[in-house]
Amino acid sequence: MFVAMGGSGRAGGRTLEMPHPDLDEVEFPDYKPPFPISGVRATPDGQIWVQRYQRHDEERALFDIFGDRGELVKQVRLPAGRRLVGFGNGVLYAVMTDEDDLEWLERYRR
């Protein structure tokens, strides 16, 4: 099955046809990994933040935080619509994308 997408511009119209995947031929894994591959980050003071998978309708990212001895210290949930981008001395940086697709850098104490 093909899905047709069209558009037009000064040079005239174009149509792009993309193949629609056949779900009977797609191989799905038996299980989902415990965390996203890009969901592990280290802080400057040695903590490890591991992002947890959430329900599809949860808009707030959840992180397990492990201390320098590997023990679970606490969990942190970011505000809705934020994604973690880095750490500083005692702070974390998150990005919020507004309705105009502009990205805003935010700083939170951790």
Residue 8 clears pLDDT 70, i.e. is over it: no
pLDDT in tens, 24-77: 888 888 888 888 888 999 999 999 999 999 888 999 999 999 998 999 999 999
99: Cα within 13 Å, side-chain hemisphere: 0
Share of the chain above pLDDT 70, in %: 86
Q: Is pTM, for the whole model, over 0.85?
A: no
Domain ranges of the chain: 2-109
Residues facing residue 83 across a β-bridge: 95
